[in-house]
Structures are given as structure tokens and as C-alpha cells.
Structure 1
């Protein structure tokens, strides 16, 4: 499949994701427009590939949205006993012993945010030393994540949906134990989390600014210190510079081709990074075909 057909397929998939996850008159019109554009300007084998890929993603988006709708309608429950499967690279521990992370409910497999205040130093030491998957069991409250209450405020609910999360659990007393994984897929998944946690620990030992860049661009583990050490990034909204840097694009492209991440988290297309990626592909598609590589590079540098 040629470059133009690839770009058309990418834009069509992006438009379909908007129409499925955020349906309104604008997103539906965009999906219809790019569908018509692909049909009228693509021929032969490329047209078949574009339509087949788009249909496959559309079906996946619809199934994923149905799953999110089912999860979002879970009732609020308090004082219930929960068991959560957690990984070391998906949690943070504050200096005051407050633990926050992402895990899966063993009863349903739904992803949730979990929070609890460690009561003893032993629990904290065991959690910090845990290199594999951990089962966290305790009584707590399951509540839906609330949307933003003010205009232009960061909508944590919509952000959580991109991670397939709609609820949070606040635990009281907890019990920690190692999880005995049964299937090869669970063991492989746990191994990837272990490697990611090990790389994060290695990156945290580096000196700044390499530490913050490695955590943010390579491992997706940026924290508030990135903005504390680089205040202009947050004040001036310079996050787009990272999207244009090229280094993480090449790295992530190799990773995505191997593990198919936009499959694992399809709503990532709705985040700022996903939208910038599709915007840059549109700019690339609109550039004159007779431009040389250095002309395109100069244009992006000025852009």
C-alpha cells in the first residue's frame, strides 16, 4: 500500500474513532467525508486494503465503546471486599505513604484507579520491593469518576476513559500477596510490566534533564518534576515540541509495529498526542510531491 493510501487509511480510522467515541454532527460528518474521499480517490488493491482496515477498526471501536458503556453503568458500592491485580509500574507511593495506581478487578477484569493509605511501614516496604504482579485485597468504596465541574477545566473522566477506566476504588485496610499467574498471556503481560518498572527505576537514577526526558518520551512515566524542572513547558504549552522532536516518534513507531498498542488503548487517538500525530500526517499529505527531503525538513523546522 502506497504512502497516500496509508495516510488516507490513517485519517479515516481517526475520523471513525471520533464518530464512535464522541458522536456529534461534526464527527459524523468528518467520518462520512473521509470515507467518501477514500472511496473516490483510491483505486484497486489500495481501496480494498483501506476499506478492510477501516471496517476492522470500526468494528473494534464499536465493541470497545459497548464495553466502556457497560463499565460506566456499574453501580456505586460501598464497604465491599475487592481484590485488585496491580503491577509495579502502574502505581506511585508518596512520602506520606499514600498509594495510588491502576489495577484490574479480579471479579470482572475492569480497570480501575485504586487509592489507599498505608498503615504500616511493612506494607510500604513490601509494596516497594514487589517486582511482579500483586493482589491487593481490602474493603473499600467503588465510585464513578466525576466529570469536570467548570468550563475549560481538565476533564479527568474523559482522560481516564482513554485508559479504559470509568471507576475508582478507595480502600481501607488491605492485604498484599503475590499473584500466581495461570495463563501464558498473564505471565507475558506481567513480564512486560516488570521490564517497564525496571527501566523506570534505571531512568530515575539518571541525572536531569536526561531523567525526565527518558521517563516522559520513552517510558511514558512523566511526573510533576518534569514541569517543576521545566516550568516553561507548562506555562507556554510547549508540549507540542516533544511531538515534533522526531526522536520519540521513531522509537514509538518501532514499538507500535510490534505490539499494536492503538489496539490496546484505542481512545489514545483522542488525546493531544494522538491528534497532533494525525495533524502532522495531514500536513505531510498536503506537501507538494516534488519537494525534496531537505525541503520538507526545512518546512517542518519553520513550522
Structure 2
């Protein structure tokens, strides 16, 4: 536990050095030193050093990527997953993976309506070669504007390409694992397109809760979600993994499927679900924890919850060193707390985030969360699943959408109640 927290604080000073991250790192160093056991300190040092070297090297590579010069005539090759594509008017936006393993934001202006419709209907992984303008993702140009550059840097995305001309074709996987990965992303894209055909607000709820994508319409049509700090409810998280594991375990018991085979199948399904959901960073901890729990059940060994939590943190940092720089992942590591502790923690952590973006704070946020979380888990999520998977039965779609619309209306109504205070911008310099 001490080692994992020390390593986690180390990522803060390497990737986002500031007074807060240095305070957390210093606090963890003092806390570890307070143990005053030479063998304990030696073990922590032995575990921390490889991670420190890895983080420094990764940070150096990221800085080299940042320092790339803008190039108006740049030849690029790569792939685009269909579930990473967004159509905004006459513009195509996507996250592309280049042949050099670098991720970039991709932009292209459709030449005509016919080609646009072809991209709208596309569910295949696309391979491309292009002549494009390569430039750094721009920072905010207006006072208090959203900082895209800083946001994408946490995802190791530093540049964007504006396509001038290109050649595209359906990507052909070269290995079985690549074929499986492509297929899961294609199914995810089909799911997104099916969800978009559902009535509102069921459509946005299904995209967020089942498919792990957050459409802009979710916040535009449901302003109360942001005002009351309920954003965390619409992120795929440990709840989804736990729900999936529990459901499949119950089904296997009912059909008398051997425990060992159930665990093996579940371990594969968890990885497949991670890829299907679009490989979001926020799911990494949950998937690793689930795999460790399955391993514990398979070997019948007693592993403390703190050990599983620590190992999942270390594996997550090894896979994505900057994973703790996002709020959603930070909250996901609090899932072992009680319902009351988790709710209070979410309120405390989301407070600076909300006032930094909206400069307001609703005094009812914590109380609404206490009521909304159990309703969401026991009523809304099952209804969304029924509405999504039963979308070809009009009656089911109508009823589930009606109930969800009423829930969304109540959230928006609560957001209009007195108690929304204007805090103003908090100066950080």
C-alpha cells in the first residue's frame, strides 16, 4: 500500500509538477520514513526505482513528441477506429493511431454530402495514407476557455493533423488478436449507431452507460447533471465490471457450469469488454481488479482487498503512467470505500472541478447524490439496458424512455431549486 501510493505521488511531480503534487509526494516520503524499518524502506526503494526510471523515460519521450515542429506538408499513415469517429456538420473528427504508435487528433472537411453519408454509415476500421498539416493542439485562445492542449496531453496526444488529401481503405488485420480487436471496435461502433436511433434521453443514457461514450447532447439536454455534480454516474466504471461479473456468475451457477471454466471465460470477457467499450483509461483499474479477484478465486488463496487495490494501481500506472491525472480515474480508486464515504469524497473532489469550470456550486449536490446513486444503480441502469437491447420492441422503448425522461426532468428540476451559489473564479497563481 505504501509503495503504490508513493509511486502514484511520483507520477504527479514528473508529469504535473506543482505545489499540490510536491506536497503529496513529500507527505508520502515522510510517511514511509516514519516506519523506521530498514528492510521495509529497502523494499519500497527497490520497487519504486524501476517505476521512477520508467516514468522519467516516458516523460522524456512525451516531451520529444511535444517538441515536434509544425509541418504544413506531412506524410502520415495510420488507422482510425470507427467508434473514434465524430461527424460535426461538414467536418470529420477522429483520433488516429499512426504507424509510429503516436496518437493524433484528425480533422477533415467532407467534399460532398455523399462521402459524408458513407462515413456516417461506416462501422469498419479504416487504414489511411495522407498528406496533412501537422501542428500542436492549440491551447485556449480566450480567457477561461477549456484547455484542449492540457486535456489531450493527459492522454499522450500532443498534435493534430488536418487532412489535405488522402487514400483510405478498410484495414486488414494481420494477426488473430488484431482481428479480434478490430471486430470488437466495429461492434462498438454498431452499438453507438443503434443507440443514436433511440429517442432522447434514452439515446444519450445508453451511449454513456452501456457503450462508454459521452455524447455532447447528454450535457446540453440535461443541464442538471453538471449543476448537481452527477457527471460521475455517466462514466463506465467499476460498477459496470462488478455488474457484468455478478450477472455472469449467477448465470453460470444456474446452468451448473464448472467454476474453473467460468473464471476462465470471465477473465477473457473482461478484457473483451474493455476493448469493446473503447479502451477507456477509467476502466483499466476495474478490469485489473476483476482479473485479480478471479485469480484469487481460482487459486483459493486469501488476498487482502488492500493488496488487490495496490496491485491494480501499480499495473494501471505501468500501462498508462498519466492515468491519475484525470478525475474519473481518481474517483474510481475510491470504490472500496463505503457508500457514504464515496459520496462525500466525490462531493469534495468534484467541488474544485465544478467551480473551476462553472464558477458556481449547488448546496444540494451532496444530498442529491445520496438519493440519485441508489436510484441510478437499481432502476435507471437496468432500464437503460432493457431499452437498448429491446429497442426493436417499440413498447419497451417507449416505457423505458418515459421513466428515464421523468428521472432527467426531476434532476433538472432539483438543479433549479435555490442554493446555486456563484463562487467565482479561484486564482491559482
TM range, normalised to the smaller chain? 0.7 to 0.9
Counterpart-to-counterpart distance in 2, 1:203 and 1:56: 44
Deviation at 1:188, TM superposition (A): 4.2
Of 160, 169, 182, the residue aligned with 1:168 is: 160
Decide which structure has the larger Cα Rg and report it: 2
Structure 1 residues 35 and 173: CA distance shift in structure 2, 3 A = same
Of 226, 229, 239, the residue aligned with 1:234 is: 226
Any idea what the Cα deviations from partners look like across 1:223-276, whole Å, max 9, x if unmatched?
111012211223454425657x97357464543445966544432311121333
Residue 65 of structure 1 corresponds to 59
For the pair 1:97 / 2:90, whether they are aligned, the reply is yes
Moved more, 259-268 or 209-218: 259-268
Moved more, 247-256 or 118-127: 247-256
Unaligned runs of 5+ in 2: 244-282, 292-311, 345-365, 367-429
Secondary structure of 2:76's partner? Answer: strand
Residue 287 of structure 1 corresponds to none
Deviation at 1:59, TM superposition (A): 3.5
Unaligned runs of 5+ in 1: 285-295
Deviation at 1:70, TM superposition (A): 1.3
For the pair 1:148 / 2:165, whether they are aligned, the reply is no
Of 246, 251, 255, the residue aligned with 2:287 is: 255
Counterpart-to-counterpart distance in 2, 1:157 and 1:233: 25
Any idea what the Cα deviations from partners look like across 1:31-75, whole Å, max 9, x if unmatched?
232134245449799878766654454343223212211111111
Deviation at 1:141, TM superposition (A): 0.8
- What pairs up with 1:123-272 in 2 under 5 angstroms? 123-150=115-142, 152-184=144-176, 186-240=178-232, 247-248=239-240, 250=242, 252=283, 254-257=286-289, 258=291, 263-272=318-327
For the pair 1:274 / 2:338, whether they are aligned, the reply is no
Counterpart-to-counterpart distance in 2, 1:138 and 1:172: 7
TM-score (norm 1): 0.76
TM-score (norm 2): 0.56
- What pairs up with 1:102-121 in 2 under 5 angstroms? 102-106=95-99, 108-121=100-113
Secondary structure of 1:148's partner? Answer: coil
Structure 1 residues 31 and 150: CA distance shift in structure 2, 3 A = farther
Counterpart-to-counterpart distance in 2, 1:60 and 1:214: 38
Counterpart-to-counterpart distance in 2, 1:173 and 1:28: 46
Verify the 8 A CA contact 2:241 2:287 in the aligned structure 1.
no
Secondary structure of 1:165's partner? Answer: coil
Moved more, 112-121 or 39-48: 39-48
Counterpart-to-counterpart distance in 2, 1:82 and 1:218: 34
Moved more, 131-140 or 179-188: 179-188
Deviation at 1:105, TM superposition (A): 2.3
Verify the 8 A CA contact 2:205 2:234 in the aligned structure 1.
no
Structure 1 residues 19 and 72: CA distance shift in structure 2, 3 A = same
Secondary structure of 2:65's partner? Answer: helix
Alignment: residue pair count: 282
Computed over aligned residues only, the root mean square deviation of the Cα atoms, in angstroms, reads 3.6
Counterpart-to-counterpart distance in 2, 1:154 and 1:205: 30
Residue 398 of structure 2 corresponds to none
Structure 1 residues 89 and 45: CA distance shift in structure 2, 3 A = farther
